[in-house]
Amino acid sequence: MTASRRGDEPSFIPYARQCIEDDDIQAVVDVLKSDFVTQGPQIERFEASLAEYTGARYAVAVSSGTAALHLSCQGLGIQAGDVGLVPAITFAATANALRYVGAEVAFVDVDDRSGLASAEQFLAAADGLAEQSEKQVWLPVSYSGLPPDLPRIAAAARERGAFVVEDAAHSIGATYPDGAGSTCRSGSCSHSDAAILSFHPVKHLCAGEGGAVLTNDQTLARRIRRLRSHGVERGRNWLYDQVELGSHYRMTELQAALGLSQLGKLDRFLERRRAIAQRYQAALERQPFAGRVAMAHRPLESAWHLFVIRFANAIEREAAYHYFREHQIGVQVHYFPVYQHSYYRNFAGGHVSLPGAEAFYAACLSLPMYPQLTDADQDRVISTLKSFLQR
């Protein structure tokens, strides 16, 4: 961040931002001077590197995380009459993917301290369904960078015959215990049929816009690859055959080159995010914070997309939001429970109310967290919170 100052005005600190360096820029310029600006070698290299980094067998790069969610559902054959289970605390796109394929959405409650949905909460949502659908897909979300209990969620889903699509938009680089003494990488699909990533600028890797589907299933990877490009199979000579209705969700070479260059820095970015999380944690354990604000989660194996704190109540959270904003600090709220959006209120027959999600939403606030956040910027965030609590 450049510390551009107008007079005595402190510079604005956003809650998240991309970190683009000279070699990232050069990678994009090189593509512009090359023969391919879309569908060329950068896409293939980016996909191979994503598969290697996450440990998944296949990666399919697409135009956004939302496209990746849509294609995962479509690729698994989810359609009208089917239902998807979505944690209430997530970005709306997780639920929207199901609506694109005509499936119903059932919302899953979350832990009111971590914002994560557990296996029990998925099971409760599945048991609450009015009628049994043909197919089910569960979409556990690695909220804020911490994977949920995927081994237990996957075991419960298997028992119910449901697919699992991991929304790992927040968690590339995170690990989680497999329950048998080893650790798994987020996006490895060790406990899911597919996982999705996003390369929106606020996420860990910036490709301008972009996303990817990860899977260990060759048939699914092939189908998603076809669906990303109109549902077309290539034939001999000039022939091609559209065998099903796909979309145009391709990524450009410019985006892939940027994403690939960023992927090479991911471990450095993650290290910085973890250091920032540790500094926040150390500060918030001291007075006057202790007892006034709580941290949504602590484990260091998180990829720390967000650093979320919780206030005692909704009034205090709202006052803090405005106080930070007045002090040029761009805190954010992640997320408004998805079922409370007008669209979902209008179409979801019946009133939805999930106490864990509502309690979490009422109290949460995301503090600035991104690799280029300096210690001085972070100190300003911490001292602003301190002066808020002592006001």
Note the residues at the interface with ligand PLP (CB under 6 A): 64-66, 90-91, 93-94, 141, 167, 169-170, 198, 200, 211
Neighbouring CB atoms inside 10 A of 32's CB total 10
* Closer CB to ligand PLP, 64 or 255, in the complex: 64
> 74 or 90: whose CB is closer to ligand PLP?
90
CB 47 to ligand PLP: min, Å: 16
Minimum CB separation of residue 342 from ligand PLP in Å reads: 20
Nearer to ligand PLP, 167 or 377 (CB): 167
With the CA atoms of 179, 182, 183 and 188 taken in that order, what torsion angle do they form, in degrees rounded to the nearest 10?
-90
Nearer to ligand PLP, 153 or 293 (CB): 153
Residue nearest to ligand PLP (CB): 65
Identity of the residue, 53 or 199, whose beta carbon is nearer to ligand PLP in the bound complex:
199
Q: Which amino acid is at 325?
A: R
Sheet bearing 58-62, strands edge to edge: 58-62, 211-215, 194-198, 163-167, 136-138, 83-87, 104-108
Q: How many CB atoms lie within 10 A of CB 46?
A: 28
Examine residue 335 and say whether the peptide bond preceding it is cis (omega within 30 degrees of 0). yes
DSSP, collapsed to helix, strand or coil, labels residue 141 as: strand
Contact 51, 188 (CB under 8 A): no
- Nearest distance in Å: CB 265, ligand PLP: 19
Strand partners, 9: 6
Alpha helices in the chain (DSSP H): 22-32, 41-54, 65-75, 93-100, 119-127, 150-159, 218-227, 253-263, 266-284, 314-326, 342-347, 355-363, 375-389
Using alpha carbons, list the distances in angstroms from residue 169 to 145, 157, 290, 315. Answer: 8, 21, 31, 30
Indicate the residue among 66 and 262 with the shorter CB distance to ligand PLP.
Answer: 66
Q: Are strands 194-198 and 83-87 parallel, antiparallel or unpaired?
A: unpaired
CB-based contacts of 85, cutoff 8 Å, min separation 6: 106, 107, 108, 122, 125, 126, 136, 137, 138, 139, 162
Cβ proximity to ligand PLP: between 169 and 277 the closer is 169
Q: Looking at beta carbons only, is 66 or 366 nearer to ligand PLP?
A: 66
Take residue 356 and report the two structure tokens written for it.
Answer: 């864990």
CA quadruple 61, 63, 69, 73: dihedral sign: negative
DSSP string of 317-329?
HHHHHHHHHHTTB
Smallest gap from residue 246 Cβ to ligand PLP (A): 18
Q: Quote the least distance from Cβ 56 to ligand PLP, whole Å.
A: 17
| Closer CB to ligand PLP, 99 or 160, in the complex | 99
